[in-house]
């Protein structure tokens, strides 16, 4: 089915070092799963394996089939990397238009439909005023929104987000994640994201999956998965979890002198 992901026994070695040692993960169409875990757990590597950007063993099935062709993967999956590479001199509007590439022939120009889609995405991410600016001239947060705009212009059924809120202030974190949620409900978009912020991971999406030791060690609804003992075990952090109507709030417990 379009928009589904199945990962079975996925293993990845980087530089001779095992990073993923047997990941199993299933995502249904329209579902949003946040992968969390300590630094170096392999979260980015997992996303790159699903893109076909790193060699892996095991099986990754996208939309019911193993997609080995780059164009087929690009049509099915849009990706927002944590540290995008943006060539100097590229304007925002042209960079976002690159998201339309999988839908055009090699020698085809931008169609009216392409331009309308790009204009709509720029509006929704509050980027229309930056359209004729060079991407590298923007702040980190503005640049991150441009990279997301390119992915949304791709209009794929699956969206992979690698730390999409890292460079954003609080307001734009909410804007971006709210927009992803809105598009998910409108289009039945399937979302797989990695997030460092455990509170955001708990309050957006359907479930969380904890990646540690190269495997998914537990997954499920955030209230059922996130506990103070689990966070202490896998993140080596001392926290307090506050129950809230919109999801758990994870706050650090600080040591204060008497």
Dihedrals phi, psi of 243, to nearest 5 degrees: -75, 135
Tens-place pLDDT, residues 177-223? 998 998 899 888 999 999 999 999 999 999 999 999 999 999 999 99
The yes-or-no verdict on residue 258 having pLDDT over 60 is: no
Dihedrals phi, psi of 137, to nearest 5 degrees: -85, -10
- pLDDT at position 103, please? 80
Report how far apart the first and last C-alpha atoms of the chain are (Å, whole number): 59
Number of H helices, E strands in the chain: 9, 11
Q: Which residue has the higher pLDDT, 174 or 232?
A: 232
Report residue 114 as tokens: 């392409």
Q: Mean pLDDT throughout 236-240?
A: 94
Residue ranges of the domains in the chain? Answer: 5-252
Distance separating alpha carbons of residues 224 and 78, to the nearest angstrom: 29
Report residue 135 as tokens: 């991407």
Percent of residues, the chain, with pLDDT higher than 70: 96
Shortest CA distance to 71 belongs to which of 100, 28, 114, 33?
A: 100
Q: Which CATH superfamily is domain 5-252 in?
A: P-loop containing nucleotide triphosphate hydrolases (3.40.50.300)
The yes-or-no verdict on residue 108 having pLDDT over 80 is: no
Distance separating alpha carbons of residues 38 and 40, to the nearest angstrom: 6
- pLDDT at position 104, please? 75
Location of structure tokens 């640049």: 143
Q: Mean pLDDT throughout 131-143?
A: 91
Tens-place pLDDT, residues 110-123? 888 999 999 999 99
Distance separating alpha carbons of residues 252 and 237, to the nearest angstrom: 7
Integer Rg of the chain from CA: 19
Confidence of residue 84 (pLDDT cuts 50, 70, 90): confident
């Amino acid at each position: 089915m379009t928009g589904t992901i199945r990962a079975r026994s996925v293993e990845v070695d980087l530089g001779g070092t095992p990073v993923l040692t047997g990941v199993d993960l299933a995502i249904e169409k329209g579902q949003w799963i946040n992968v969390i875990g300590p630094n170096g757990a392999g979260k980015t590597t997992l996303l790159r394996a699903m893109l076909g950007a790193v060699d892996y063993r095991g099986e990754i099935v996208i939309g019911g089939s193993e997609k080995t062709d780059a164009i087929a993967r690009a049509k099915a999956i849009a990706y927002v990397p944590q540290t995008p590479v943006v060539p100097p001199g590229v304007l925002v509007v042209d960079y976002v238009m690159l998201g339309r590439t999988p839908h055009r022939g090699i020698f085809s120009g931008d169609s009216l439909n392409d331009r309308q889609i790009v204009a709509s995405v720029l509006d929704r991410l509050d980027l229309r005023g930056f359209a004729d600016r060079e991407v590298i001239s923007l702040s980190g947060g503005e640049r991150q929104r441009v990279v997301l705009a390119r992915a949304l212009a791709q209009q794929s059924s699956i969206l992979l987000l690698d730390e999409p809120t890292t460079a954003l202030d609080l307001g734009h974190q909410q804007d971006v994640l709210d927009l992803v949620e809105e598009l998910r409900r409108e289009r039945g978009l399937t979302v797989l994201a990695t997030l460092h912020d455990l509170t955001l991971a708990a309050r957006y999406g359907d479930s969380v999956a904890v990646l540690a030791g190269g495997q998914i060690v537990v997954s499920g609804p955030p209230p059922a998965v996130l506990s103070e003992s689990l966070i202490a075990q896998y993140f080596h952090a001392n926290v307090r979890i506050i129950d809230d109507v919109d999801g758990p709030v994870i706050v650090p417990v600080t040591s204060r002198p008497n």
